[in-house]
Amino acid sequence: MARLGVITDGISREFEHALEVMTAADLEYAELQYLWDKEVGDLSESQIGKAQDLVESYGVTVSCISRHNFAGLRVGETELGDANHQKHMDGLKRSILTAQAFGTSLVRIMSFSREMILFGMNGADHWVVSQGAWNRLLELLEPAVQLAEDEDVELVLETGNNAMIPSAYLGRKLIDELGSSRLKILWDPCNSLYANEPTFPDGLEALSVEHLGQLHIKDARVDMPRATVEFCRLGSGDMAPYLEPLAASLKAQQWDGIISLESVYRPDGGDFEAGFLESVPIFKALFS
């Protein structure tokens, strides 16, 4: 059975308050992204020590170190080992050390900035394909995968709405072509709606549970022609038709990974904590 948690800064960047709220909601697994004034992976030694004490005090388990490694870089403007690439490799190294300090083996990476058309034929390859972008992505991620193998951690690459890997399908293709057991997908099926990929059955079947390293769950109303998104209470947006069959299929396949509620919904007149409190009962009912 899956294990349930939350990305803590979706409740609050004040880490102790986030732990208070999540444990009151009976969630055990804390995914760390931003704590206090810093992104995880950039915390000072004293901040790491303080966070370790709080994790122990509240009896939670850290599920994943989720720094935005390799987010926002354009593959066509990045060379292997150049200053920008090295900066993100250094961030990944710090993230791995942080993961080891918190006793987790999962470290998130992102997949650079999105190129819309990677493959094509019958003339599309000449006119609209971003030639070489896919192969460059593989080249730029190879050192990260090698580092994970050397350090005995597991990279979970998130499907991002503005990333080179926006869909479960492309996530599986990336894993197959890089060929490392240390790379899995941190699947955010709501993000994959931006790639016009239905969560179920399409997304789950394309990825398969053996390649699913972690799962993010949120809900939104997506209007791609108007370049607009509205986050909403879980079960009230475009994810609504997929949530129950997704949960049922994961249970039937006995997937025992970690599912994080990504609490990014802020109701009118409320804050993100209020959004969390609206969605967490539905989250637990679906995936417990």
Q: Would you state the pLDDT for residue 172?
A: 98
pLDDT > 90? residue 27: yes
What pLDDT is stored for residue 236 in this prediction? Answer: 98
Q: Parallel, antiparallel, or unpaired for β 183-187 and 61-65?
A: unpaired
- Give the whole-number percent of the chain exceeding pLDDT 90: 99
Residue 1 confidence (pLDDT) above 90: no
Mean of the per-residue pLDDT values of the chain? 97
Distance CA 40, CA 47 (A): 10
Q: Residue 38: pLDDT above 90?
A: yes
Q: Where are the alpha helices (DSSP H) in 45-167?
A: 45-58, 83-102, 124-127, 133-151
pLDDT at residue number 23? 98
Strand 228-231 relative to strand 38-39, pairing: unpaired
Question: In this predicted model, what pLDDT tens digit does every residue of 125-135 receive, in sequence order?
Answer: 999 999 999 99
pLDDT band for position 281 (cuts 50, 70, 90) = very high
pTM for this model (two decimals) = 0.97
Contact call for residues 141 and 175 (beta carbons, < 8 A): no
Question: Is pLDDT at 33 greater than 90 in this prediction?
Answer: yes
pLDDT at position 213, please?
A: 98
Tell me the domains of the chain and their CATH numbers. 3-287 (3.20.20.150)
